[in-house]
Amino acid sequence: MKQLIFNSSNLKETQTFAKKIASCLNKGDIVFFSGPIGAGKTIMVKEIAKFFGVKDKITSASFSLMKKYFGTKADLYHIDLFRLEEGEMFNLGFEEMLEEETSLILAEWPAAAADFFPKNRLEIEIVLQKEDKRKIILKANTLAYQKMLEKLAKKIKR
Ligand SMILES: Nc1ncnc2c1ncn2[C@@H]1O[C@H](COP(=O)(O)OP(=O)(O)OP(=O)(O)O)[C@@H](O)[C@H]1O
Ligand SMILES: [Mg+2]
């Protein structure tokens, strides 16, 4: 496993970091966002959506569980499983979504359905710290995302 840790001091820094993450992502990629309520998961999703040319406003997906957005560079599925109840998973059209391979999949609160997704994914965990500070931990378990993190690390250094 490879990790990259980014310490954010404020909202702006998280947004800038998310934009850099976006620039290292491709169609078909899957990104998990975990961390407590108000950590900044949706903030990051919005920034990534903007990068991929999504013009529609990203709204909460926790009631619908899944929303699709069309972007100029890639389409995007925003998933929020905060309210997922056991057994609900198979009525959502996840299979079709995963077969598409042309959309980006960004999932908040993925834990309840983690086994349902392919192992080849980027996992982001946001840890709340004092006031506006956040520790953002990116974990890559596969070669593809380990390479992605190497690319991202170079962009952060600049
Ligand atoms: N360093 C920071 N990074 C990200 N967000 C921050 C930071 N500091 C303060 N914030 C604030 O924290 C909030 C994060 O909200 P957001 O909706 O992204 O949380 P979330 O993790 O998606 O929560 P939920 O689990 O309810 O969906 C925003 O109001 C944002 O302005
Ligand atoms: Mg959210």
Residue 40, SS3? coil
Residue 85, SS3? coil
Question: Residue 132 phi/psi, 5° resolution?
Answer: -90, 5
Q: How far apart are CA 49 and CA 100, in angstroms?
A: 18
| Nearest listed ligand to the Cα of residue 36 | 1
User: What spacing in Å lies between the alpha carbon of 72 and ligand 1's midpoint?
Assistant: 26
Number of domains comprising the chain: 1
CA distances from 64 to 72, 77, 86, 131 (A): 24, 12, 15, 31
- The boundaries of the domain holding residue 114 are 2-157
Q: CB–CB of 73/45 below 8 Å?
A: no
- The best mutation among 7, 8, 11, 135 to test binding of ligand 1, ranked by most ligand atoms within 8 Å of the C-beta, falls on 11
| Nearest listed ligand to the Cα of residue 40 | 1
CATH of the domain at 68: 3.40.50.300
99 vs 48, higher pLDDT? 48
26-81 pLDDT, tens digit each:
999 999 999 999 999 999 999 999 999 999 999 988 788 899 999 999 999 999 99
Residue 95 — pLDDT band, cuts 50, 70, 90? confident
Q: Is the pLDDT of residue 93 over 80?
A: no
pTM exceeds 0.75: yes
